[in-house]
Amino acid sequence: MSRSARPLRARIHLDAIRHNYRRAQSLAPHSRALAVVKADAYGHGAVAVARALTGEADGFAVACVEEALELRESGIRGPMLLLEGVFSPDEIALVDRAGLAMVVHCREQLDWVLAARPSRRLDCWIKLDTGMHRLGFCPSEFAEVNARLAACPHVGERVAMTHFARADEPDHPYTSVQIDAFERALNGARIGRSLANSAAVLAWPQTHGDWTRPGIMLYGVSPFAGTGSNANLEAGELRPAMTLESALIAIRDLKAGEPIGYGGRFVCERPTRIGVAAIGYADGYPRQARDGTPIAVGGRPTRLIGRVSMDLITLDLTGLETARPGDPVELWGRTVPAAAVAEASDTIAYQLFTAIGRRVSRRYEEA
Ligand SMILES: *Cc1c(COP(=O)(O)O)cnc(C)c1O
Protein backbone atom coordinates (compact mmCIF):
# COMPACT_ATOMS: atom_id res chain seq x y z
CA MET A 1 0.00 0.00 0.00
CA SER A 2 2.96 2.35 0.31
CA ARG A 3 2.71 3.24 -3.43
CA SER A 4 -0.87 4.42 -2.92
CA ALA A 5 -1.47 7.99 -3.98
CA ARG A 6 -4.27 8.38 -1.46
CA PRO A 7 -2.88 11.01 0.88
CA LEU A 8 -3.55 9.07 4.08
CA ARG A 9 -0.67 8.01 6.32
CA ALA A 10 0.27 7.39 9.93
CA ARG A 11 3.50 9.18 10.72
CA ILE A 12 5.24 7.43 13.61
CA HIS A 13 7.58 9.60 15.65
CA LEU A 14 10.20 7.16 16.88
CA ASP A 15 12.00 9.85 18.87
CA ALA A 16 8.76 10.45 20.80
CA ILE A 17 8.50 6.76 21.65
CA ARG A 18 12.06 6.76 22.97
CA HIS A 19 11.34 9.93 24.95
CA ASN A 20 8.19 8.39 26.46
CA TYR A 21 10.04 5.18 27.36
CA ARG A 22 12.71 7.22 29.13
CA ARG A 23 9.95 9.09 30.92
CA ALA A 24 8.50 5.78 32.15
CA GLN A 25 11.95 4.73 33.31
CA SER A 26 12.65 8.00 35.08
CA LEU A 27 9.34 7.79 36.96
CA ALA A 28 10.30 4.33 38.23
CA PRO A 29 14.09 4.62 38.47
CA HIS A 30 14.57 1.50 40.60
CA SER A 31 12.55 -0.75 38.33
CA ARG A 32 13.22 -2.25 34.95
CA ALA A 33 10.58 -1.52 32.32
CA LEU A 34 9.13 -3.95 29.79
CA ALA A 35 7.95 -1.92 26.81
CA VAL A 36 4.50 -3.29 25.96
CA VAL A 37 4.42 -3.77 22.18
CA LYS A 38 1.44 -6.14 21.87
CA ALA A 39 -1.10 -5.61 19.09
CA ASP A 40 1.64 -4.44 16.71
CA ALA A 41 2.79 -1.88 19.28
CA TYR A 42 -0.73 -0.50 19.64
CA GLY A 43 -0.88 -0.04 15.87
CA HIS A 44 2.49 1.75 15.62
CA GLY A 45 4.40 -1.24 14.19
CA ALA A 46 6.02 -3.60 16.70
CA VAL A 47 9.23 -4.27 14.78
CA ALA A 48 9.99 -0.60 14.15
CA VAL A 49 9.09 0.37 17.72
CA ALA A 50 11.21 -2.42 19.21
CA ARG A 51 14.12 -1.46 16.97
CA ALA A 52 13.76 2.16 18.03
CA LEU A 53 13.96 1.02 21.66
CA THR A 54 16.87 -1.37 21.16
CA GLY A 55 19.67 -0.53 23.55
CA GLU A 56 17.13 1.40 25.58
CA ALA A 57 14.38 -0.97 26.70
CA ASP A 58 15.02 -3.54 29.43
CA GLY A 59 12.70 -5.90 27.57
CA PHE A 60 9.42 -6.22 25.72
CA ALA A 61 5.97 -7.62 26.43
CA VAL A 62 3.63 -9.06 23.82
CA ALA A 63 0.35 -10.94 24.01
CA CYS A 64 1.29 -14.19 22.33
CA VAL A 65 4.04 -16.27 20.78
CA GLU A 66 3.28 -15.14 17.19
CA GLU A 67 3.96 -11.56 18.21
CA ALA A 68 7.17 -12.55 19.97
CA LEU A 69 8.44 -14.59 17.02
CA GLU A 70 7.88 -11.68 14.63
CA LEU A 71 10.19 -9.62 16.83
CA ARG A 72 12.79 -12.35 17.29
CA GLU A 73 12.84 -13.01 13.52
CA SER A 74 13.53 -9.29 13.05
CA GLY A 75 16.54 -9.56 15.32
CA ILE A 76 15.05 -8.15 18.53
CA ARG A 77 16.87 -9.68 21.51
CA GLY A 78 16.56 -9.42 25.26
CA PRO A 79 13.82 -10.31 27.72
CA MET A 80 10.46 -10.81 26.06
CA LEU A 81 7.33 -11.75 28.00
CA LEU A 82 4.17 -13.46 26.74
CA LEU A 83 1.42 -11.67 28.68
CA GLU A 84 -1.11 -14.46 28.17
CA GLY A 85 1.45 -17.26 28.30
CA VAL A 86 0.91 -20.21 25.98
CA PHE A 87 -2.38 -21.61 24.70
CA SER A 88 -1.24 -25.20 24.28
CA PRO A 89 1.64 -27.32 25.60
CA ASP A 90 3.30 -27.54 22.15
CA GLU A 91 3.98 -23.82 22.23
CA ILE A 92 6.49 -24.31 25.01
CA ALA A 93 8.97 -25.63 22.42
CA LEU A 94 8.71 -22.27 20.63
CA VAL A 95 9.10 -20.40 23.93
CA ASP A 96 12.20 -22.48 24.64
CA ARG A 97 13.75 -21.96 21.22
CA ALA A 98 13.03 -18.20 21.15
CA GLY A 99 14.15 -17.65 24.75
CA LEU A 100 10.88 -16.09 25.88
CA ALA A 101 9.44 -15.60 29.34
CA MET A 102 5.82 -16.58 29.87
CA VAL A 103 3.00 -15.71 32.13
CA VAL A 104 1.53 -18.68 33.99
CA HIS A 105 -2.01 -17.74 34.93
CA CYS A 106 -3.84 -21.07 35.38
CA ARG A 107 -3.51 -24.71 36.40
CA GLU A 108 -3.30 -25.97 32.82
CA GLN A 109 -0.34 -23.72 32.03
CA LEU A 110 1.32 -24.72 35.29
CA ASP A 111 1.00 -28.41 34.43
CA TRP A 112 2.37 -27.81 30.91
CA VAL A 113 5.42 -26.00 32.29
CA LEU A 114 6.11 -28.68 34.89
CA ALA A 115 5.76 -31.46 32.29
CA ALA A 116 7.91 -29.72 29.65
CA ARG A 117 11.41 -30.92 28.73
CA PRO A 118 12.98 -27.66 27.54
CA SER A 119 16.60 -27.25 26.47
CA ARG A 120 17.02 -24.30 28.84
CA ARG A 121 15.35 -22.96 31.92
CA LEU A 122 11.95 -21.33 31.42
CA ASP A 123 11.29 -17.95 33.02
CA CYS A 124 7.80 -17.89 34.51
CA TRP A 125 5.72 -14.92 35.60
CA ILE A 126 3.07 -16.08 38.08
CA LYS A 127 -0.06 -14.06 37.47
CA LEU A 128 -2.30 -13.40 40.44
CA ASP A 129 -5.88 -12.25 40.18
CA THR A 130 -6.06 -9.56 42.84
CA GLY A 131 -9.35 -8.10 41.67
CA MET A 132 -9.39 -7.74 37.89
CA HIS A 133 -11.19 -11.12 37.78
CA ARG A 134 -10.00 -12.01 34.35
CA LEU A 135 -6.75 -14.06 34.34
CA GLY A 136 -4.65 -15.29 37.24
CA PHE A 137 -4.43 -17.58 40.24
CA CYS A 138 -6.28 -16.74 43.42
CA PRO A 139 -4.00 -15.06 45.96
CA SER A 140 -4.46 -18.11 48.21
CA GLU A 141 -2.86 -20.32 45.55
CA PHE A 142 0.32 -18.30 45.26
CA ALA A 143 2.44 -20.10 47.86
CA GLU A 144 1.75 -23.52 46.38
CA VAL A 145 2.21 -22.46 42.72
CA ASN A 146 5.40 -20.60 43.55
CA ALA A 147 6.78 -23.55 45.51
CA ARG A 148 6.09 -26.00 42.70
CA LEU A 149 7.77 -23.76 40.13
CA ALA A 150 10.69 -23.11 42.50
CA ALA A 151 11.19 -26.84 42.93
CA CYS A 152 11.16 -27.51 39.20
CA PRO A 153 14.71 -27.80 37.85
CA HIS A 154 13.84 -26.43 34.42
CA VAL A 155 12.18 -23.26 35.72
CA GLY A 156 14.45 -20.23 35.76
CA GLU A 157 13.55 -16.76 36.99
CA ARG A 158 10.17 -16.37 38.68
CA VAL A 159 8.29 -13.08 38.93
CA ALA A 160 4.96 -12.49 40.66
CA MET A 161 2.67 -10.21 38.72
CA THR A 162 -0.82 -8.75 38.78
CA HIS A 163 -2.82 -6.30 36.68
CA PHE A 164 -4.94 -3.37 37.86
CA ALA A 165 -8.55 -2.77 36.92
CA ARG A 166 -8.79 0.89 37.93
CA ALA A 167 -5.28 2.37 38.18
CA ASP A 168 -6.42 5.05 35.71
CA GLU A 169 -8.63 6.45 38.49
CA PRO A 170 -6.00 7.87 40.85
CA ASP A 171 -8.53 8.66 43.57
CA HIS A 172 -10.24 5.29 43.54
CA PRO A 173 -9.42 2.97 46.46
CA TYR A 174 -9.62 -0.24 44.38
CA THR A 175 -5.94 -0.12 43.38
CA SER A 176 -4.96 -0.10 47.07
CA VAL A 177 -7.20 -3.12 47.62
CA GLN A 178 -5.37 -4.94 44.82
CA ILE A 179 -1.92 -3.92 46.11
CA ASP A 180 -2.82 -5.23 49.57
CA ALA A 181 -4.13 -8.51 48.18
CA PHE A 182 -0.92 -8.95 46.17
CA GLU A 183 1.41 -8.29 49.09
CA ARG A 184 -0.65 -10.50 51.40
CA ALA A 185 -0.44 -13.34 48.87
CA LEU A 186 3.32 -12.97 48.53
CA ASN A 187 3.70 -12.82 52.30
CA GLY A 188 7.27 -11.55 52.08
CA ALA A 189 8.35 -14.10 49.47
CA ARG A 190 11.68 -13.32 47.85
CA ILE A 191 10.47 -13.03 44.29
CA GLY A 192 10.43 -10.29 41.66
CA ARG A 193 7.32 -8.14 41.52
CA SER A 194 5.51 -6.59 38.56
CA LEU A 195 2.26 -4.67 38.93
CA ALA A 196 2.36 -1.40 37.08
CA ASN A 197 0.76 -0.56 33.74
CA SER A 198 1.12 3.02 32.43
CA ALA A 199 -1.46 4.45 34.82
CA ALA A 200 0.31 2.90 37.79
CA VAL A 201 3.72 4.04 36.55
CA LEU A 202 2.31 7.57 36.49
CA ALA A 203 0.06 7.62 39.56
CA TRP A 204 0.93 4.73 41.90
CA PRO A 205 4.67 4.80 42.72
CA GLN A 206 4.24 2.16 45.43
CA THR A 207 3.47 -0.36 42.64
CA HIS A 208 6.66 0.07 40.64
CA GLY A 209 8.31 -3.09 41.98
CA ASP A 210 11.04 -4.81 39.98
CA TRP A 211 9.45 -4.59 36.53
CA THR A 212 6.97 -2.04 35.20
CA ARG A 213 4.87 -2.70 32.08
CA PRO A 214 4.18 0.63 30.36
CA GLY A 215 2.08 0.47 27.20
CA ILE A 216 -0.12 3.38 26.19
CA MET A 217 2.20 6.00 27.66
CA LEU A 218 4.95 4.93 25.26
CA TYR A 219 2.67 6.05 22.48
CA GLY A 220 2.17 9.46 24.06
CA VAL A 221 -1.32 9.09 25.47
CA SER A 222 -2.22 9.60 29.10
CA PRO A 223 -4.24 6.69 30.46
CA PHE A 224 -6.32 8.95 32.67
CA ALA A 225 -9.89 9.87 31.80
CA GLY A 226 -10.63 13.44 30.82
CA THR A 227 -7.14 13.95 29.43
CA GLY A 228 -8.16 14.96 25.97
CA SER A 229 -6.01 18.07 26.07
CA ASN A 230 -2.34 18.29 25.34
CA ALA A 231 -1.94 20.20 28.60
CA ASN A 232 -2.35 16.92 30.42
CA LEU A 233 0.21 15.29 28.21
CA GLU A 234 2.65 18.04 29.00
CA ALA A 235 1.98 17.45 32.69
CA GLY A 236 2.93 13.81 32.12
CA GLU A 237 5.71 14.96 29.80
CA LEU A 238 4.58 12.56 27.13
CA ARG A 239 4.86 13.21 23.41
CA PRO A 240 2.35 11.95 20.84
CA ALA A 241 3.97 9.17 18.86
CA MET A 242 1.55 9.06 15.94
CA THR A 243 0.21 11.68 13.59
CA LEU A 244 -2.66 10.29 11.54
CA GLU A 245 -2.80 12.54 8.52
CA SER A 246 -4.75 12.84 5.30
CA ALA A 247 -5.65 15.74 3.02
CA LEU A 248 -8.59 17.76 1.78
CA ILE A 249 -9.75 16.36 -1.53
CA ALA A 250 -12.76 18.64 -2.06
CA ILE A 251 -14.23 21.87 -0.75
CA ARG A 252 -17.79 23.03 -1.18
CA ASP A 253 -20.04 25.85 -0.08
CA LEU A 254 -23.40 24.80 1.30
CA LYS A 255 -26.45 26.90 1.98
CA ALA A 256 -28.27 27.19 5.27
CA GLY A 257 -30.55 24.19 5.70
CA GLU A 258 -28.50 21.80 3.54
CA PRO A 259 -27.61 18.47 5.16
CA ILE A 260 -24.25 16.72 4.89
CA GLY A 261 -23.62 13.04 4.23
CA TYR A 262 -25.45 9.87 5.28
CA GLY A 263 -28.58 10.41 7.28
CA GLY A 264 -28.16 14.17 7.02
CA ARG A 265 -26.90 14.16 10.58
CA PHE A 266 -25.47 17.65 10.34
CA VAL A 267 -27.61 20.40 8.80
CA CYS A 268 -25.94 23.73 8.06
CA GLU A 269 -27.39 26.50 10.20
CA ARG A 270 -25.87 29.16 7.97
CA PRO A 271 -23.96 29.23 4.69
CA THR A 272 -21.04 26.92 5.45
CA ARG A 273 -17.83 26.02 3.66
CA ILE A 274 -17.02 22.39 4.24
CA GLY A 275 -14.02 20.22 3.43
CA VAL A 276 -13.94 16.55 2.49
CA ALA A 277 -10.92 14.52 3.62
CA ALA A 278 -9.75 11.11 2.45
CA ILE A 279 -10.22 8.94 5.51
CA GLY A 280 -13.15 6.95 6.80
CA TYR A 281 -14.14 4.22 9.18
CA ALA A 282 -12.56 1.55 6.95
CA ASP A 283 -9.24 3.24 7.76
CA GLY A 284 -9.94 3.17 11.48
CA TYR A 285 -11.38 6.62 11.98
CA PRO A 286 -14.23 5.97 14.43
CA ARG A 287 -17.69 5.98 12.88
CA GLN A 288 -19.03 6.98 16.32
CA ALA A 289 -17.24 10.36 16.12
CA ARG A 290 -19.75 13.06 16.95
CA ASP A 291 -20.24 16.42 15.25
CA GLY A 292 -17.63 18.66 16.85
CA THR A 293 -14.91 16.02 17.14
CA PRO A 294 -11.63 17.96 16.92
CA ILE A 295 -9.61 17.85 13.74
CA ALA A 296 -6.98 20.19 12.24
CA VAL A 297 -6.52 21.56 8.73
CA GLY A 298 -3.10 22.94 7.92
CA GLY A 299 -2.33 22.91 11.65
CA ARG A 300 -5.43 24.93 12.54
CA PRO A 301 -8.09 23.37 14.75
CA THR A 302 -11.64 22.83 13.50
CA ARG A 303 -14.33 20.17 13.84
CA LEU A 304 -15.86 17.15 12.18
CA ILE A 305 -19.41 17.74 10.87
CA GLY A 306 -21.57 14.99 9.40
CA ARG A 307 -21.43 11.25 9.81
CA VAL A 308 -18.16 9.42 9.08
CA SER A 309 -18.36 7.39 5.85
CA MET A 310 -16.31 4.34 4.90
CA ASP A 311 -13.69 6.32 2.96
CA LEU A 312 -14.45 9.98 3.65
CA ILE A 313 -15.20 12.50 6.35
CA THR A 314 -16.56 16.03 6.20
CA LEU A 315 -15.35 18.94 8.26
CA ASP A 316 -16.12 22.58 8.96
CA LEU A 317 -13.95 25.14 7.16
CA THR A 318 -15.61 28.15 8.79
CA GLY A 319 -12.83 30.61 9.57
CA LEU A 320 -10.33 28.64 7.45
CA GLU A 321 -10.97 30.64 4.29
CA THR A 322 -7.53 29.96 2.85
CA ALA A 323 -7.93 26.16 2.96
CA ARG A 324 -7.36 24.49 -0.43
CA PRO A 325 -7.67 20.94 -1.73
CA GLY A 326 -4.45 19.14 -0.88
CA ASP A 327 -4.05 20.82 2.49
CA PRO A 328 -3.04 18.39 5.24
CA VAL A 329 -5.73 17.21 7.65
CA GLU A 330 -4.62 15.91 11.05
CA LEU A 331 -6.99 13.35 12.54
CA TRP A 332 -4.85 13.06 15.65
CA GLY A 333 -1.30 13.85 16.59
CA ARG A 334 0.50 16.90 17.93
CA THR A 335 -2.36 19.35 17.34
CA VAL A 336 -5.34 17.06 17.98
CA PRO A 337 -4.89 14.74 20.99
CA ALA A 338 -5.91 11.17 20.18
CA ALA A 339 -7.59 11.07 23.60
CA ALA A 340 -9.86 13.97 22.58
CA VAL A 341 -10.96 12.15 19.43
CA ALA A 342 -11.53 9.05 21.55
CA GLU A 343 -13.64 10.96 24.07
CA ALA A 344 -15.77 12.44 21.28
CA SER A 345 -16.27 8.91 19.95
CA ASP A 346 -17.09 7.11 23.21
CA THR A 347 -13.93 5.05 23.09
CA ILE A 348 -10.28 5.15 24.17
CA ALA A 349 -7.13 5.95 22.25
CA TYR A 350 -6.03 2.32 22.62
CA GLN A 351 -8.90 1.30 20.37
CA LEU A 352 -8.31 4.09 17.86
CA PHE A 353 -4.67 3.08 17.43
CA THR A 354 -5.31 -0.64 17.16
CA ALA A 355 -8.17 -0.16 14.69
CA ILE A 356 -6.07 1.60 12.03
CA GLY A 357 -6.81 -0.13 8.75
CA ARG A 358 -4.57 -1.79 6.20
CA ARG A 359 -5.02 1.08 3.74
CA VAL A 360 -3.06 3.39 6.02
CA SER A 361 0.65 3.34 5.25
CA ARG A 362 3.08 4.07 8.05
CA ARG A 363 5.98 6.45 7.74
CA TYR A 364 8.69 6.26 10.38
CA GLU A 365 10.34 9.51 11.36
CA GLU A 366 13.11 10.59 13.67
CA ALA A 367 13.09 14.10 15.15
C1 LIG B 1 -1.58 -4.27 27.90
C2 LIG B 1 -1.02 -4.56 29.23
C3 LIG B 1 -0.22 -3.62 29.89
C4 LIG B 1 -0.01 -2.21 29.38
O5 LIG B 1 -1.12 -1.42 29.74
P6 LIG B 1 -1.18 0.14 29.44
O7 LIG B 1 -2.45 0.60 30.05
O8 LIG B 1 -1.21 0.27 27.95
O9 LIG B 1 0.04 0.74 30.01
C10 LIG B 1 0.37 -3.99 31.07
N11 LIG B 1 0.17 -5.23 31.60
C12 LIG B 1 -0.62 -6.15 31.01
C13 LIG B 1 -0.83 -7.46 31.64
C14 LIG B 1 -1.26 -5.84 29.81
O15 LIG B 1 -2.05 -6.75 29.24
Domain ranges, ordered by start, for the chain:
14-235, 242-365
Ligand 1 within 6 A of 196 CB?
Answer: no
Pocket test for ligand 1, best of 83, 103, 105 (most atoms within 8 A of CB): 83
- Class assignment of domain 242-365? mainly beta
Give 110-131 pLDDT, tens digit per residue.
Answer: 999 999 999 999 999 999 999 9
- Class assignment of domain 14-235? alpha beta
* pLDDT of res. 227: 57
Confidence of residue 230 (pLDDT cuts 50, 70, 90): low
Pocket test for ligand 1, best of 25, 36, 81 (most atoms within 8 A of CB): 36
* pLDDT of res. 1: 46
Asked if residue 4 has pLDDT above 70, the reply is no
* pLDDT of res. 366: 94
Q: Is 262 a catalytic residue?
A: yes
pTM: 0.96
Q: What are phi and psi of 66, to 5 degrees?
A: -60, -45
Q: Which atom of ligand 1 is nearest to the CA of 216?
A: 8
Rounded to the nearest angstrom, the distance between the alpha carbon of 37 and the centre of ligand 1 is 9
- Residues 178-202: what's their mean pLDDT? 97
Ligand 1 within 6 A of 212 CB?
Answer: no
Ligand 1 within 6 A of 209 CB?
Answer: no
